[in-house]
Amino acid sequence: MSAMKPSSRFFTISLVTSWYASNIGVLLLNKYLLSNYGFKYPIFLTMCHMTACSLLSYIAIAWMKMVPMQTIKSRVQFFKISALSAIFCASVVSGNVSLRYLPVSFTQAIGATTPFFTAIFAYLMTFKREAWLTYITLIPVVTGVVIASGGEPSFHLFGFIMCLGATAARALKSVVQGILLSSEGERLNSMNLLLYMAPIAVVLLLPATLYMEENVVGITVALARDDINIIWLLLFNSVLAYCVNLTNFLVTKHTSALTLQVLGNAKGAVAVVISILIFRNPVSVTGMLGYSLTVFGVILYSEAKKRSK
């Protein structure tokens, strides 16, 4: 790292800052829209995100040539990408639903248990065993969330189940992605994967939106007549959702997977602090202790995985 030129170091710092800003920004804006503003349509909101990801992915790859365009080579590969897209939709929709009921600080504590679910799915689906020490580090990860749940003043059971579902689906997607797109001919970089996954997600979410969130377009238009800001908020939020994926790809490309993991752990803690300052949700000492224990467990887990390789 010391040999890094000042210009490339500045570029990396700028990238990480953009990644943090877009990740935390979209999380807080989702919370504001779904909970504080009262826009109670998480499926429609996710569909807006996916529509923006479809359009902006195409512009970034086909027009701006940010990465070479990769093509889908077979019907089987298309079905694999569709399956990933369905899991991706489930995780994003569940996460957005949970934000209607739970404070951001608590959803971040639950989200930190992703390694626990990843280890379970990896074992169930690929019979891949980690070193016993790696499994031991998952104990504080889960214990922390149990403690945080008990000490959460704004605990909501349905929101908790949704958030847990979102975290499990996120872990499932990463394991399934590793299995489905593991052969050399089928591997896509994350920007091309998003280019194909996002339109499929829109197609999957459209009937769900029309069935479960009746007349949402009419309601949004009516809201916009009273307050045009809702349109700008939805547009900005959707662009930010794409920026999360773009910056995630760029940070992964310009740093290492391990750096990304460490930065990701810190990002959760930063999001918690910012959300508490903005939304002023009550926080108990027990809740913060539980969350700290979870983050500590995730750091231990990262270290154990690194040593077992």
Of 189, 169, 299, 162, nearest in space to 245 by CA: 189
Confidence category of residue 258, pLDDT binned at 50, 70, 90: low
Burial class (CB in 10 A: 0-12, 13-18, 19+), 42: buried
> Are 46 and 93 within 8 A, CB to CB?
yes
Of 156, 91, 144, nearest in space to 118 by CA: 91
On whether residue 15 sits in a domain, the answer given is no
Q: According to DSSP H, which parts of the chain are helical?
A: 6-31, 42-58, 75-101, 104-111, 114-126, 132-150, 157-180, 190-212, 216-226, 229-254, 257-279, 285-308
Task: For residue range 163-218, list pLDDT tens digits in order.
Answer: 999 999 999 999 999 888 877 788 888 899 999 999 999 999 999 999 999 899 99
Portion of the chain with pLDDT greater than 70, in percent: 96
The count of other CB atoms within 10 Å of the CB of residue 37 is 15
| Tokens encoding 141 | 């990860």
On whether residue 70 sits in a domain, the answer given is yes
The count of other CB atoms within 10 Å of the CB of residue 55 is 15
Length of the chain: 309
Q: According to DSSP H, which parts of 32-131 are helical?
A: 42-58, 75-101, 104-111, 114-126
pTM: 0.88
- As a whole number, the mean pLDDT across the chain is 91
On whether residue 12 sits in a domain, the answer given is no
On whether residue 6 sits in a domain, the answer given is no
| Tokens encoding 155 | 């605990």
> Are 28 and 99 within 8 A, CB to CB?
no
Task: For residue range 98-108, list pLDDT tens digits in order.
Answer: 999 999 989 99
Question: Tell me, what DSSP letter sits at residue 70?
Answer: -
Rounded-to-integer distance, Cα 37 and Cα 29, Å: 10
What's the pLDDT score for residue 4? 53
Report the number of distinct structural domains present in the chain: 1
Sequence-distant (6+) residues with CB within 8 A of 36 are 279
Rounded-to-integer distance, Cα 270 and Cα 24, Å: 8
pLDDT exceeds 50 at position 73: yes
On whether residue 18 sits in a domain, the answer given is no
Average pLDDT, integer, range 131-152: 91
Confidence category of residue 2, pLDDT binned at 50, 70, 90: very low
Of 287, 280, 15, nearest in space to 153 by CA: 287
Domain that holds residue 203: 35-308
3-class secondary structure, 137: helix
On whether residue 46 sits in a domain, the answer given is yes
Confidence category of residue 1, pLDDT binned at 50, 70, 90: very low
Rounded-to-integer distance, Cα 34 and Cα 286, Å: 27
Name the phi and psi angles at 271, rounded to 5.
-60, -40
Distance of CA 196 to the CA centre of its chain: 18
Of 106, 90, 103, 85, nearest in space to 42 by CA: 90
Confidence category of residue 14, pLDDT binned at 50, 70, 90: very high
On whether residue 44 sits in a domain, the answer given is yes
Rounded-to-integer distance, Cα 154 and Cα 107, Å: 11
| Tokens encoding 234 | 């939805």
On whether residue 23 sits in a domain, the answer given is no
Confidence category of residue 6, pLDDT binned at 50, 70, 90: low
Task: For residue range 283-296, list pLDDT tens digits in order.
Answer: 889 999 999 999 89
